[in-house]
Chain A
Amino acid sequence: MEKSESKSNSRKGGYLLLIFALLMITWMVFSGYFDWFHLTLGAISCGIVTWMSADMLFANRTTSLLKRVVQAVRMFFYFIWLVWQIVLSNIHLLKLAFAGQRALQLQVVSYETKLESDFEKFLLANSITLTPGTVTMKIIGQTFYVHAISDVAAKGLDGEMERRIAKIFA
């Protein structure tokens, strides 16, 4: 019991350090000054923000930091794949815009998901919106209602994206 408590405490410290480091990197990139005066100001501000509102980042603190790093790397590759999907989506849209109304087959389809956490659902909803011809309209429980602009787009919701998202957090 005592051991697990001390472990979770050390993780808490690790998370605080991680949040502080993320804030400090952001500060350095956005300020662009690397003299001691500005770095000290940054360290003080980041320290205060970490102290006051560190609870707002990373809701689940039981995950180990190593796993977080692995997830971040996987997320990066997922985003590269997503950018490619955005490119396809825009080419599709450009074609439809020039083809006019005849090419459209508007419909609303439902899509059941197995993803549990809010963040995963948020990621899936945003990814559906970014991929060719589909926009998430409403989420009720585990069901996504998706507005699709054509039959091809509606068929594209085959669960590949969900598998990819589930893999990130596996």
Chain B
Amino acid sequence: MDQAGIITIISVALIALGLLFFLGAAIGLFRFPDFYARMHAAGKGDTLSSLLVVLGFAVYQLHDFDFTFSTLEFNLQSWKAWMFHGDGLIILIVLKLIAICAFIMITSPTCTHALMDAGWEDGIEPELKEKGANALAKDIDG
């Protein structure tokens, strides 16, 4: 199999895996009992699945990237041609997609936390496995 075929298979596999985790998140969102448990599904399921899908896109960009360095010689022209590959600017696209991954990793847990906090401040009672399993209520009520 040629390089383009292998790269396509890897990227499709990554995207499919991401969609599977999205499915898990969606099912969790419907099946979990209360607001807080549902936030687990929404906040976490999204992180890995978006990472996997974006990573799949990044891998797909490499489908005619020269991994063997065969076109690379010791001059600026060939180095530029290797990096940018015509007008594709492969490395830059991959770097941008990695930047998206980084931003998702930072913002997703932050907004999950913000929503949980807002839910608590708004007085939503968490459903618990047993009475008194809430350390926060204990510490605040004294």
Kindly count the residue-residue contacts between A and B in the assembled complex, taking CB atoms under 8 Å apart: 127
Q: Give the docked Cα–Cα distance between A105 and B134 (Å).
A: 12
Of B31, B41, B106, the residue contacting A100 (CB under 8 A) is B31
> Contacts A106-B127, A108-B137 hold; do A129 and B43 have CB atoms under 8 A apart?
yes
Q: Which stretch in B2-10, B20-28, B56-64 binds the other chain?
A: B20-28
- Annotate B101-136 by CB proximity to A: 1 below 8 A, 0 otherwise: 000011001101100110010000011110001111
Of B24, B51, B113, B134, the residue contacting A108 (CB under 8 A) is B134
A157 to chain B: closest CB distance in Å?
A: 12
- A-chain residues with CB within 8 Å of residue B41 when the two chains form the complex: 93, 97
A74 to chain B: closest CB distance in Å?
A: 17
What size tier do the contact residues of chain B reach? 35 or more
Q: Give the docked Cα–Cα distance between A24 and B110 (Å).
A: 27
Of A104, A125, A135, the residue contacting B39 (CB under 8 A) is A135
A119 at the interface (CB under 8 A from B): no
- A-chain residues with CB within 8 Å of residue B28 when the two chains form the complex: 93, 96-97
Q: Are B135 and A145 in contact (CB under 8 A)?
A: yes
Which of A87, A126, A129, A138 is most buried by chain B, counting CB atoms within 10 A of its CB? A129
- A-chain residues with CB within 8 Å of residue B33 when the two chains form the complex: 101, 104, 106
> Contacts A29-B95, A90-B24 hold; do A147 and B117 have CB atoms under 8 A apart?
no
Q: Are B27 and A138 in contact (CB under 8 A)?
A: no
- Annotate B25-45 by CB proximity to A: 1 below 8 A, 0 otherwise: 101100111101101110111
Q: Give the docked Cα–Cα distance between A105 and B47 (Å).
A: 23
Given contacts A96-B28, A106-B37, A135-B116, 20 further A-B contacts (CB under 8 A): A32-B92, A86-B47, A90-B47, A93-B44, A94-B20, A97-B25, A97-B28, A97-B32, A106-B127, A106-B128, A107-B133, A108-B134, A109-B135, A110-B139, A130-B47, A135-B36, A135-B43, A138-B116, A147-B126, A149-B37
